[in-house]
Structure 1
Amino acid sequence: MSQTPRVEPHAAQASPVPAAGERRGVGAAHAKAILFGEHAVVYGAPAIAIPVDSLTAEATIDVGGPAGLRIASSLYTGPVAGAPARLTPVVTVIRAALERAGLPELARCEASSSTAANSSAPGAVAEGPGATVTIASSIPHERGLGSSAAVAAAIARAAFDLAGAELDSETLFDLIQTAERVAHGTPSGIDARTVAATGAIRFNRGSVAPIRIGEPLILAFADTGHPGSTAQAVASVQALRAREPASTDALLSRLAEIAEHSIDDLAMGDRGAVGAAMSEAHAILHRVGVSSDRLDAIVAAACDAGATGAKLTGGGLGGCIIAVADSEAHAEQIGVAMRGAGAERTWTVEVPAA
């Protein structure tokens, strides 16, 4: 998938080369974006999603050095036992992946006494082997691009690479979902499937099917600079559905219809139809309460700049916008307009014909 980001959201840092005698496992995964079907997918409707290869998460696991299990990342560096609560999904998948890969001695390399159990405490001495999990990601956090799922996938792949074990697709999915349940409560599974996909997919009730892209699809992405909250947005829609079941179900059904009809539009390479579908989908997402003034302003700016359509992608209440452009040059122009409307950064993604 040929994709050229205009601005890298975060700079990934390479991990140091392991010393002689140390073992290393490496893994990586890409971001994702939902084209159609947000929120309706929670109720069993189909959704269409694409991998975003230009934004990646990378993980390395190095065995050696001081005893104990450690994390090194832009959010926290130190013993796993001292990791902040926001990294609980990461800690969960590190331990689960090492266990599933056949490396329980690393997953459990904690101190044996209550005093030493928190190896960040003064004077604590961890027992057992030592390992450091280094995480680097260019995927913006909490923007609806699958950051947590991609990090989990990268860690799982690194653990199995370290063990020299084969990682099948279902085990990978299960491990990502282990982290996603901690991060999001009851994830649909679309993030876990798409960060491991090699092309556009139709996701429905856990099943995945590849879809055809008839002509290259040029998308201008914009980051609002505000974090989204999938859990909060899903809860908001659930509350609306409880208050107004008939009208909310009608809107969610229409989102499902748009997603299903888009498969033919994408196969025919009809950018106009794809863009029109995106604009209609965004209007519905606004009506169910998961858009925001900033999201709406950026969508409007994209359309004023000639995008055939634009919408939020992901849970909403922040996060990112996608807009359909005629060319890469046009996507750059749309990006300028979206930044003028308040977007923090923009980049261009090309979904190739496939």
Structure 2
Amino acid sequence: MAGVTGRVWEPSTRPASTIGAAPAEATATAHAKVILLGEHAVVHGAPAIALPVHGLALTATVTRTDRPLWIDSVLYRGPIAAAPELLAAPVTAIVETLRHVGAPATGRAVRIDGEIPAERGLGSSAAVAAAIAAAVARSCGVELDAAERFALIQAAERVAHGTPSGLDARSVVSDTPVWFQAGQARELPSALGGVFVIADTGLRGRTREAVAGVAALKAAEPDRVAGILSRIQECTQAAVDDLAGDDRAALGARMSQVHALLRELTVSNPHLDRLVASAEAAGALGAKLTGGGRGGCVLALAETAQNAETIAAAMRENGAERTWMLRPEETTA
């Protein structure tokens, strides 16, 4: 099939002592993520903050077989040689992982269970690649280290997105909030006690289009766009103290401010704006689009779990296809 990248590394030269016995079946999981602050600015070198969404997760199960490589997903079930282009990224994760550990590209069936909605800014393609890479390696008796797993996720993400920043690859395997800038990630301390509501517009995000639109706007109006990106960066940096100090009101205000700035960058749309407005009218401390924009999801911050339920109901009444909660125990570190 088209779209599969070349090698990430030469076949593995791991010492035999570092490779365990290959099990008959191996599994691995990964979860979704949301960008709290910093989307689009991160493309231009500014920082971003991402949060893990453990409630949206998937599992890859790899079984040893006596047939060619096989994939079983909600989109396609069959040999990877005949897989549709839509599965080029997962296929890349399978092939590159086998190549990396020095195993033959045959004799494995990969099943993907669970669903993170695709093209919603939730990191679905990175999560699929993360789970596949770890499970395939384990099926060969190999535990990937963090750098190896990141590189394999990025190989798949390049097929899916062209030039991924690496934010999704870091976030979908992190148990804590992530500070990401210029390809580097670190754990971010958080004591936040509020509850986030994630609302799906039901519309696919158009990240490539949005990123290209911001680049075109920056070329046409460099000073204005630079100012917008700078203000987004200031909000992202200030949010570090908001998270550490559980300043929910300040963080919410920054979220709403950043949404207004993202609107100026033309990456919002009426569906996103309506959900943001409905969340704020229902008592949210702040709300914004999350991810690439022009579709996808909205993230709102509620003071309490009870407030969150009210906000989620209001967003569904105003067009959200579905909502999820992100509770304090998932965002504290």
Task: With the length of structure 2 as denominator, give the TM-score of the two structures.
Answer: 0.91
Structure 1, residues 314-349: CA drift from partner, whole Å, max 9, x if none? Answer: 100111111010111211110110011110001111
Distance 2:142 2:120 in 1: 33
Alignment match of 1:213 (pick from 190, 194, 202):
190
Structure 1, residues 59-95: CA drift from partner, whole Å, max 9, x if none? Answer: 1111115x21111000111111111111111111110
1:293 is aligned to 270
DSSP-derived class of the 2:202 partner:
coil
1:91 is aligned to 91
CA contact 1:101–1:159 (8 Å) conserved in 2:
no
1:181 is aligned to 158
2:59 is aligned to 58
Q: Does 1:223 align with 2:205?
A: no
2:47 is aligned to 46
Gaps of 5+ in 2: 1-21
2:250 is aligned to 273
Alignment match of 1:350 (pick from 314, 317, 327):
327
CA shift at 1:189, angstroms? Answer: 0.5
CA shift at 1:229, angstroms? Answer: 2.0
Distance 1:351 1:159 in 2: 33
Distance 2:191 2:268 in 1: 30
Residues 1-354 of structure 1: pairs in structure 2 closer than 5 A: 23-65=24-66, 67-103=67-103, 105=104, 107=105, 109=106, 130-352=107-329, 353-354=332-333
CA shift at 1:283, angstroms? Answer: 0.4
| Of 228-237 and 21-30, the range deviating more from structure 2 | 21-30
Task: With the length of structure 1 as denominator, give the TM-score of the two structures.
Answer: 0.85
Larger radius of gyration: 1
CA shift at 1:27, angstroms? Answer: 1.0
For residue 71 of structure 1, what is the amino acid of its counterpart? I
Structure 1, residues 244-276: CA drift from partner, whole Å, max 9, x if none? Answer: 111111101111111011001111101100100
CA shift at 1:22, angstroms? Answer: 7.9
Distance 1:215 1:312 in 2: 20
Distance 2:74 2:117 in 1: 12
CA contact 2:255–2:287 (8 Å) conserved in 1:
yes
Distance 2:283 2:322 in 1: 19
2:5 is aligned to none
Identity %: 50
What is the number of equivalent residue pairs in this alignment? 310
For residue 29 of structure 1, what is the amino acid of its counterpart? A
CA shift at 1:155, angstroms? Answer: 0.3
DSSP-derived class of the 2:126 partner:
helix
Distance 1:190 1:256 in 2: 16
CA shift at 1:102, angstroms? Answer: 2.7
Distance 1:247 1:36 in 2: 20
CA shift at 1:214, angstroms? Answer: 2.0
What is the root-mean-square deviation of aligned Cα atoms in Å?
Answer: 1.3
Distance 2:149 2:23 in 1: 25
Distance 1:164 1:22 in 2: 7
CA shift at 1:159, angstroms? Answer: 1.2
Distance 1:233 1:86 in 2: 21
Gaps of 5+ in 1: 1-20, 110-129
Distance 2:25 2:100 in 1: 17
Distance 1:215 1:317 in 2: 28
Distance 2:286 2:328 in 1: 16
